[in-house]
Amino acid sequence: MSDGRRTQAHRSDGALTDTLGRPMRDLRISVTDRCNFRCTYCMPKEVFGRGFEFLDRSEILSFEEIARLARLFVALGVRKLRITGGEPLVRKDVEQLIAMLAAIEGLDDLTVTTNGSLLKRKARALRNAGLQRITVSLDSLDNDVFKSMNDVDFPAERVLEGIEAAVEAGLSPVKVNMVVKRGVNDHTVLEMARHFRGRGQTLRFIEYMDVGNANGWRLDDVVPAGEIIARINAEMPLEPVGPNYRGEVARRYRYKDGSGEIGVIASVTQPFCGDCTRARLSAEGRLYTCLFASRGHDLRALLRGGKPDGEIAEFLRSVWSRRDDRYSELRSSATPGLPKVEMSRIGG
Ligand SMILES: C[S@@+](CC[C@H](N)C(=O)[O-])C[C@H]1O[C@@H](n2cnc3c(N)ncnc32)[C@H](O)[C@@H]1O
Ligand code: SF4
């Protein structure tokens, strides 16, 4: 970026904090609201079926618009970008966006979260574009279970092939996300742990969350992270490890025999709002300051309204400095019914 284009916000050292003293360090960018899976906990077919109206191409931010916003966020202190969706790899030429983002100075980490279905084909291009590492979602190795969750008959082996391609392309360390839903896939937790242990791939168990309003979430469906850890520990002894950095969402554990580590993302039973440093940009350019927010701030209108960088940066600064979200800490029997943005819009 040339100095001539630097605005006051560009020169900021990133000391931007919200009303609870939380700095803005991470930005999750959703590049599409579409997906080739229909995970029952995210895009159930009854809601996201044939008649569902996805965003029109013209409504979605272009790569240039995304990269421009990303530069402004980085100038305000963001150090980590995660590209997500919907399914980010269904967005045409997404590697071109990766290359544009990888070129931003001041970024420490650039990654993608994907369902892995197109990874075998795309891993090399992503790596060549400058992607450093990748997170792949896989909810079970048992095909009956996995297919019942992705609801498009997609086999687990093809996701494993994608993971292998990512490792071969140098996208490591690969992290694997498993959403655990009671009575659906929790009986396959140990099989997953056994498979990924010793491979250098960190498996992270995610408590099923009440994101959006489409998935009919009930607290009874949540398997608490403590229970998952206890089950694994009984067979493969574990010990806790401290966080890598402030705001790390996963609580880390390592196998006592040195065969690797796992993580748990316990947003329901052990909320981590107090350390949440994440902003989220939806595919149509809305800024959300919480995964459970009902309202986003329209950045696309600023971009397409011809606003200069300085004005947009000032808007970002004002939104973050007024931020007071802590949904998971306030979660109660009443909160799941509140209107919230769908996960497929902001990508987790
Ligand atoms: C919304 S997806 C988007 C990226 C990509 N399609 C994927 O599945 O990895 C991001 C992550 O959110 C997780 N997720 C979706 N709905 C969830 C829910 N209700 N509770 C917990 N995690 C969820 C997915 O399993 C995935 O790991
Ligand atoms: S979790 Fe990811 S793969 Fe599954 S429906 Fe949602 S966006 Fe698609």
pLDDT digits (tens, 9 = 90+) for 265-289: 998 888 778 888 999 999 999 999 9
Integer angstrom CA distances of residue 269 from 181, 209, 233, 262, 343: 14, 10, 19, 18, 19
- Of 197, 195, 162, 192, the closest CA to residue 179 belongs to 192
Q: Report how far ligand 1's centroid is from the alpha carbon of 211 (Å).
A: 10
Q: For residue 215, what pLDDT is reported?
A: 75
- Ligand 2 atom nearest to 87, measured from its CA: 7
The span from the CA of 153 to the CA of 146, in Å, is: 8
Q: What is the pTM of this model?
A: 0.92
Q: Is the pLDDT of residue 6 over 70?
A: no
CB burial string 4-21: b at 16+ within 10 A, e below: eeebebbeeebebebeee
User: Which of 87, 89, 113, 117 most suits a substitution to test ligand 2, by most atoms within 8 Å of the C-beta?
Assistant: 87
Of the bound ligands, which one is closest to the alpha carbon of residue 206? Answer: 1
Q: How confident is the model at residue 336 (pLDDT cuts 50, 70, 90)?
A: low
Ligand 2, atom 7, lies closest to the CA of 86
Q: Is the pLDDT of residue 2 over 50?
A: no
- Ligand 1 atom nearest to 139, measured from its CA: 25
Ligand 1, atom 26, lies closest to the CA of 137
Q: Report how far ligand 1's centroid is from the alpha carbon of 348 (Å).
A: 6
Pocket of ligand 2 (CB under 6 A): 35, 37-39, 42-43, 85-87, 115, 137, 343-344
Q: For residue 225, what pLDDT is reported?
A: 95
Tell me if 331 sits within 8 A of 273, measured CB to CB: no
**Rounded mean pLDDT, 143-149:** 98
Q: For residue 339, what pLDDT is reported?
A: 66
Q: Report how far ligand 1's centroid is from the alpha carbon of 344 (Å).
A: 8
Helix H or strand E segment including 346: helix 343-346
